[in-house]
Structure 1
């Protein structure tokens, strides 16, 4: 793996685990098994690494979000699982405050705010589409509340998961987050949808 690729990969792991703020360039270099000077050769600032991560996330998100507009329940649910996995893999972008970036890199700060808003809107759209294609049985008046519950569970879990289960693996925490979201929707799922999700997803 090339030096720049190692830095991108290890910094993503560190930002997710330790937060952007607490992950120093020295630690990133050490985890990447490179000299700190090599890091500065490829990236002028730590926010420049965030910019690369953000671009990678947007590419993956754009590639998969179309699945959640399909009328086929199986494809739709596969799309939900895929996008949750992508968001989890870049969760620091939706969890951390980036207060220092706001002043130094206002354009990057705006992009982070925009993608957070985009995800919020996407959650509402997938709830509405799930209702439309018969996966969820909900009243129109409940769409906003269910959307907000999903966002609260998803976003809070990014921060709470490591505090609640400090010794558990990343995969355990990721699956636990999916399980919590599924449980929040379970009362509104049709019988057929419950069976479909149970057949597609192993909650153990």
Structure 2
């Protein structure tokens, strides 16, 4: 494994365990048994490491999502994609824990994140539209109702790890619990047929 990759893996481990603000470049270097000068040859600042890990997270999520077959039933696709996203976020959980700190410190990352959120919103609204066409989800009863449904799902998606850290001490079950909390948001909007498919997914 190349030195740069070792630095990223160790940084991810330390950031996840101790928190972004607590970990220093000196600590990362010491944990790897290298000088800080050697580490600085690859990454001049901690922000450079965080930026690299952020883009690795985005790449990992894209890769995992591309493994899903778009041929599967759309409700099943939504269920599986949410679970994959949450598992991947947990592997890079320091970013979600300190999301606004990470973004506010790097204008480029912030711009990328905001653009990514626009894309995710379009994708979710498309899924809602398809669910409605297939008779699995009711039509909107309020203007912008499904825009706000996505917004609620997105807020939970960005903040569930902090809630999990506070309320669930053991790692086991954190992802599955909050995946269900997130996915159940859609349940009240499903038709009888949609609810039947939803129940089948839980078996």
TM-score interval (norm. to shorter) = 0.7 to 0.9
Q: Over the residues paired in the alignment, what is the CA RMSD in angstroms?
A: 3.2
Which residue is 1:151 aligned to?
Answer: 154
Residue 15 (structure 2) pairs with residue 20 (structure 1): no
Which residue is 1:173 aligned to?
Answer: 174
TM-score of the superposition, structure 1-length normalised?
0.72
Which residue is 1:98 aligned to?
Answer: 101
| 1:184–1:12 distance in 2 versus 1, CA, 3 Å | same
Number of residue equivalences: 195
Unaligned runs of 5+ in 2: none
Matches of residues 1-204 of structure 1 in structure 2 within 5 Å?
Answer: 1-32=1-32, 34-65=34-65, 67=68, 72-73=73-74, 74-94=76-96, 95-98=98-101, 102=105, 105-139=106-140, 141=142, 142-165=145-168, 167-169=169-171, 171-189=172-190, 190-199=194-203
Unaligned runs of 5+ in 1: 200-204
- SS of the equivalent of 1:168 reads coil
| 1:134–1:109 distance in 2 versus 1, CA, 3 Å | same
| 1:58–1:176 distance in 2 versus 1, CA, 3 Å | same
| 1:51–1:89 distance in 2 versus 1, CA, 3 Å | same
Which one has the largest radius of gyration? 2
- Conserved? CA contact 2:25–2:46, under 8 Å: yes
User: Which structure carries more relative contact order (alpha carbon 8 Å, separation 6+)?
Assistant: 2
Measured in 2, the distance between the counterparts of 1:133 and 1:31 equals 54
TM-score of the superposition, structure 2-length normalised?
0.73
| 1:99–1:198 distance in 2 versus 1, CA, 3 Å | closer
Measured in 2, the distance between the counterparts of 1:133 and 1:17 equals 44
- Conserved? CA contact 1:51–1:108, under 8 Å: yes
